[in-house]
């Protein structure tokens, strides 16, 4: 994936996150690990690796927000996103 495509994906995922945050039933603290990264889709000066890591961290948070438990489809996606985020972080 090219960096511009990754930035577009990142931006779309942030839009989804904002939609989830607007729902009272979703714990907004799920997104704290993503916010702590300080990597926003508009930060085009950040490296592709930093954006990739942010996308995986955000993907984990979104999947967790959608999951019923760790064995649901979203729960399994969240677990895989965590693994990918950890791998991406080790390459920063």
37 touches 54 (CB < 8 A): yes
Q: CATH 1.20.1270.110: does it fit domain 3-90?
A: yes
Tell me the pLDDT of the chain (92 aa) as tens digits: 899 999 999 999 999 999 999 998 889 899 999 999 999 999 999 999 999 999 999 999 999 888 866 667 787 888 888 999 999 999 88
| Cα 78–chain centre separation | 10
47 touches 86 (CB < 8 A): no
Query: What are the extents of the domains in the chain?
Result: 3-90
CA distance 37 to 89: 11
């Amino acid at each position: 994936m090219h960096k511009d495509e990754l930035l577009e994906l990142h931006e779309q995922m942030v839009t989804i996150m904002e939609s989830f945050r607007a729902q009272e039933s979703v714990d907004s603290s799920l997104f704290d690990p993503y916010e702590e990264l300080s990597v926003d889709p508009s930060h085009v000066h950040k490296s592709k690796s930093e954006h990739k890591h942010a996308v995986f961290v955000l993907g984990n948070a979104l999947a967790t927000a959608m999951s019923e438990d760790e064995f649901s489809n979203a729960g399994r996606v969240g677990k895989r996103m965590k693994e990918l985020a950890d791998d991406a972080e080790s390459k920063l």
